[in-house]
């Protein structure tokens, strides 16, 4: 019975589209971030605070991914960034073809940094490249300090981890050292920022990094 | 995760190839699935069976999986080792600087088929 070699990556279609997106953004001098977390960790709030603080320094364009509603896109627009909302109507992660389509609705000529806010989900988005230059995983102090060990792939594929809601540390049993230790054990190169979007603590360091990242450092 | 969507991608890739090869029936498909790919082979086989059950060319096709272990190489002492729970610390020298050697693959390797 004849056999034929196929030798094909199953996710090749997504990877190819992601590569096209990356090339096209790089050609325009635009850097891209894929921001992921479980629902409610503070992705949108972090984006709002970032856009407000970096007004005049960076022009940020945002692709908002949610299963339903345009609530997050409205918040980001109010903060002052051009935003496109993707509603997946059921899909639990963004895929490259969705980003490709969304990009046709953004005026790319003005953008320095494209931020893609993924669906709230610590599992599936990890496997789907979107054409980004870096992946950010956001965790928060109200989610338990064992998430890196429980969702290792997400932390393995990210370049940055942001620990949010530092202001709530006095009210929760959250061992910050444990979370960082676990995350670094999986990914020793992970860059970690500890912030409170509410009080502003740690946001200067995060914004400084973002500026350096966008300008190609 | 998404074994159904992955099974659908495999179905489509195999169907295209089988048509090119003028196959009348696909007997089996061999995959390479890494331990750290996030895909569970049993679930995938189940979804593939479900999707192909009514297809005249693919019904009954077996999914064979070559499982690939999650392994890394230490940049410090060059030792290759198995990774447990994504913790990539070199057991020989305790260093943390490593390169992943295998374990994240998700590939269709080959297809076995019948012609007229």
For residue B85, is it within any domain?
no
Question: How much is the mean pLDDT over chain B?
Answer: 94
Cα distances from B25 to residues A113, A208, B6, B100, in angstroms, run 50, 59, 21, 38
Q: What is the CATH number of the domain that holds B54?
A: 3.30.2320.50
Quick check: is B82 in a domain?
Answer: no
Q: What is the pLDDT of residues A13-35, one digit of tens each?
A: 899 999 999 999 999 999 999 99
Residue B54 sits in which domain range? 3-70+102-114
Answer yes or no: are the C-beta atoms of A80 and A110 closer than 8 Å.
Answer: no
> What CATH number corresponds to the domain at position A203?
3.40.50.300
| A139 in a structural domain | yes
* The pLDDT value given to residue A217: 56
Residues of A in contact with B108 (CB under 8 A): 6-8, 10
- Does A37 fall in a domain? yes
Does A1 fall in a domain? no
Mean pLDDT split into 10-residue runs, chain A, 217 residues: 90 93 97 98 98 97 96 96 95 95 95 97 95 98 97 96 98 98 95 98 98 89
CB < 8 Å to B13, chain A: 6, 8, 10
Check if B106 contacts A (Cβ < 8 Å).
yes
Q: Is residue B86 part of a domain?
A: no
Number of domains forming the structure of chain B: 1
Mutation target for A interface from B28, B95, B107, B112: give the one with most A CBs within 10 A.
B107
Supply the ipTM of this predicted assembly. 0.83
Q: Does B12 touch chain A (CB under 8 A)?
A: no
pLDDT tens profile B36-76: 999 999 999 999 999 999 999 999 999 999 999 999 999 99
* pLDDT of B1 over the 80 cut: no
Tell me, what DSSP letter sits at residue B61?
A: P
- Asked whether residue B95 is assigned to any structural domain, the reply reads no
Domain span including residue A34: 12-214
Q: Which two tokens stand for residue B110?
A: 């080959």
Share of chain A above pLDDT 70, in %: 100
In B56-109, which ranges are continuous DSSP H helix? none
The two three-digit tokens of residue B73, written as one number: 């190489």
- Residues facing A64 on adjacent strands: A85, A117
In a domain, A3, yes or no: no
**Contact residues for A138 (Cβ-Cβ < 8 A; gap 6+):** A35, A36, A37, A41, A42, A43, A46, A161, A162, A164
Q: Please tell me whether the overall predicted TM-score, pTM, comes out greater than 0.95 for this model.
A: no
Rounded distance, CA B13 to CA A95, Å?
19
At A168-204, the pLDDT tens digits run 999 999 999 999 999 999 999 999 999 999 999 999 9
What is the DSSP track for A183-212?
HHHH-TT-EEEE--TTT-TTHHHHHHHHHH
Which 3 state secondary structure label does DSSP give A31?
strand
Into how many domains does chain A fold?
A: 1
């Amino acid at each position: 019975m004849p056999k034929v070699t196929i030798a094909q990556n199953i996710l090749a279609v997504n990877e190819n589209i992601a590569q096209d997106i990356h090339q096209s953004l790089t050609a325009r001098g635009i850097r891209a971030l894929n921001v992921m977390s479980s629902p409610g960790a503070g992705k949108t709030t972090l984006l709002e605070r970032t856009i407000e603080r970096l007004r005049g320094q960076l022009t940020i364009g945002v692709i908002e991914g949610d299963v339903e509603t345009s609530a997050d896109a409205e918040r980001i627009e109010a903060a002052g960034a051009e935003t496109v909302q993707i509603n997946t109507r059921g899909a639990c992660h963004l895929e490259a073809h969705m980003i490709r389509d969304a990009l046709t609705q953004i005026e790319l000529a003005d953008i320095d940094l494209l931020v893609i806010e993924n669906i709230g989900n610590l599992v599936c988005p990890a496997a789907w490249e979107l054409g980004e230059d870096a992946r950010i995983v956001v965790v928060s102090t109200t989610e338990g300090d064992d998430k890196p060990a429980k969702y290792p792939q997400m932390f393995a594929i990210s370049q940055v981890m942001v620990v949010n809601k530092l202001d709530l540390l006095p009210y929760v049993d959250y061992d910050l050292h444990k979370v960082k230790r676990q995350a670094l054990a999986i990914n020793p190169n992970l860059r970690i920022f500890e912030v409170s979007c509410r009080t502003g603590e740690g946001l200067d360091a995060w914004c400084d990094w973002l500026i350096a990242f966008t300008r190609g450092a | 995760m998404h074994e159904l969507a992955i099974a659908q991608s495999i179905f489509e890739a195999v169907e295209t190839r089988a048509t090119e090869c003028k196959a009348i029936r696909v007997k089996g498909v061999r995959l390479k699935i890494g331990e750290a790919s996030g895909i569970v082979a049993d679930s995938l086989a189940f979804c593939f069976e479900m999707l192909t059950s009514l297809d005249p060319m693919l019904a009954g096709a077996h999914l064979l999986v070559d499982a690939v272990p999650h392994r890394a190489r230490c940049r410090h002492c060059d030792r290759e080792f198995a990774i447990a729970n994504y913790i990539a610390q070199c057991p020989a020298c305790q260093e943390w600087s490593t390169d992943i050697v295998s374990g994240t693959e998700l590939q269709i390797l080959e297809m076995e088929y019948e012609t007229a």
